[in-house]
Amino acid sequence: MAFIYDINNSKKDKVSSGCLLTTHTISEILNLFLSTFLVGYVYSLSSDVSNYIFNVGVYYVVMYAVSLLTHLILAPIVEKTNRVWLYRLALALRAGLVVVCVFCGQNIASLLVLAGALSGLSEAMYYSCYNTMKQEMVSRHSVKKYSVLSMILQKFIYIVVPLIMGAVLDVSSYSYVAIYILVIAVIQIGFSFGIRSKRPEGSSFSLKGYFKKLKENPELAKKMKLLYIGAIPYGLSTIVGVVVNISVMMQFESNFSLGWITSVFSVVSAIFLIILNKFTHAGKRTWLLIITGLLPIIGSVSFVIWPGYATIIIYNVTNAISNITYHNIYDIYRNANLKEAGLYSEIQEHQTLTEIIFNGMRVIIFAILLLLGLSSNLIVFNVFLCICSCLYTATLIIMVIYENKFSKSTKQTHTNEKVELEPQNNKVE
């Protein structure tokens, strides 16, 4: 996979990368509808709490199992083709899932397997293309800037949209809101036609070849090994947001409450993200990351012992701060390391391997949630909630180890390499 675009120097490519960023930002609106508020909607259709937890578990197990298989199947195809067309197909599939929500209404609870499968298929197709194109379009010196901007835009969406969506859902229907989301999905597909993609000539997908390249570079191999270890709790921690949504619906039983809580804590996340990137530096924030990792444990335990409005707010604040911290740091290193080492042709292998670990861990953790639904034991669910919060801590501790071990070598690489190497053996589609 060749390194094509430079977001800082090419006007034409800025338009292309800008359209990619726009479509990705719009995707967050669809993600809110198909995850956060779908979880809330399933609650209104469930006969009891245990049935609700079980249904949510079914949806996500199917979703991530299909996503895992799709990543494995698509990786060689994305490697050899103009991936922008697959990207548009993924957007169309996501729009198709919204159509299912429009026409199914209250029957969606009986179609959770189908909904989960469609969601997993579209998500895997989307990220297998998006992660690769992002690597191509954003220079390695702009990775941090792009990642931070993307997350700030995401948080803006999570501030405004949940309030509107939650209020409308409380006075209308899930199918009614789905119609508006479908219009947004169509607009998103329109923006995707502003993305230009290039197909590498003679490229091939080989995880075995990728591991061989890592063996030839021991320093890079150590970095990537630690990142892949970090991918385990990172993937598992996906469940924290879902568990929070379940807890909010059980406590407040209102989509608007779910909306304003999501919005308020997105503000907290955005503020902390700006502070983190402006006033801290890699290798010099060990205690900050450790404290940030411990916060959700304190928040979850307090909520379990004293459930109520105050403690669920504390729980959400601590989760918001920890989530944005590890997500930001991990995302930057995930997208920078191979380009720093000059391994542009192995980007697809790296992204695929990372997604395989993520989705494998997600299948496992959501299968446990499904079993908790069968157990009908809310005490066990609360213990599970506390354990899940520890996943943030685990990810952040690994990021502390990573930064303290490799931040100096990474800084030296940026200092020594002033010129980007850009292979020219690519055919424009």
CA atoms of 154 and 169, how far apart (whole Å): 21
Least confident of 177-181, 256-260, 325-329: 256-260
Q: Would 1 be classed as within a structural domain? A: no
- Domain count for the chain, please give it: 1
pLDDT of residue 415: 43
Q: Is the pLDDT of residue 196 over 60?
A: yes
Q: Collapse the DSSP code of 199 into the 3-class scheme (helix H, G, I; strand E, B; otherwise coil) and give the result.
A: strand
> pLDDT-based confidence at 359, cuts 50/70/90?
very high
CA atoms of 336 and 329, how far apart (whole Å): 11
Terminal-to-terminal C-alpha distance of the chain: 15
- Name the pTM for this structure: 0.78
Q: Collapse the DSSP code of 9 into the 3-class scheme (helix H, G, I; strand E, B; otherwise coil) and give the result.
A: coil
The predicted-structure confidence for 250-287, as pLDDT tens digits, reads as follows: 766 555 455 556 666 666 666 776 777 777 777 778 88
- Please give the distance of CA 406 from its chain centroid, rounded to a whole number: 24
Q: Is the pLDDT of residue 386 over 70?
A: yes
pLDDT of residue 360: 94
pLDDT of residue 94: 81
pLDDT of residue 13: 59
pLDDT of residue 103: 66
Q: Where in the sequence is the domain holding 273, given as residue range(s)?
A: 11-197+208-416
Q: Which amino acid is at 147?
A: S
> pLDDT-based confidence at 232, cuts 50/70/90?
very high
Q: Which amino acid is at 326?
A: Y
Q: Would 407 be classed as within a structural domain? A: yes
Least confident of 58-62, 186-190, 240-244: 240-244
pLDDT of residue 378: 75
pLDDT of residue 143: 67
**CA dihedral defined by 85, 91, 97, 100, rounded to 10 degrees?**
-80
Q: Is the pLDDT of residue 117 over 60?
A: yes
- Segments in 253-285 forming alpha helices (H): 255-279
Q: Would 108 be classed as within a structural domain? A: yes
pLDDT of residue 259: 54
φ/ψ region of 376 (left if φ > 0, alpha if ψ in -120 to 50, else beta) reads left
Q: Is the pLDDT of residue 11 over 50?
A: no
Q: Would 421 be classed as within a structural domain? A: no
CA atoms of 348 and 419, how far apart (whole Å): 23
Q: Would 309 be classed as within a structural domain? A: yes
Q: Would 4 be classed as within a structural domain? A: no
Q: Would 267 be classed as within a structural domain? A: yes
Q: Is the pLDDT of residue 364 over 90?
A: yes
Smallest CA-to-CA distance from 248 within 237, 260, 238 is with 260
Give the CATH number for residue 110. Answer: 1.20.1250.20
pLDDT of residue 263: 61
Cβ-based neighbour number of residue 212 at 10 Å: 11
Q: Would 136 be classed as within a structural domain? A: yes
pLDDT of residue 67: 92
The predicted-structure confidence for 336-351, as pLDDT tens digits, reads as follows: 777 777 777 787 888 8
The predicted-structure confidence for 123-152, as pLDDT tens digits, reads as follows: 888 888 887 777 777 666 666 677 777 777
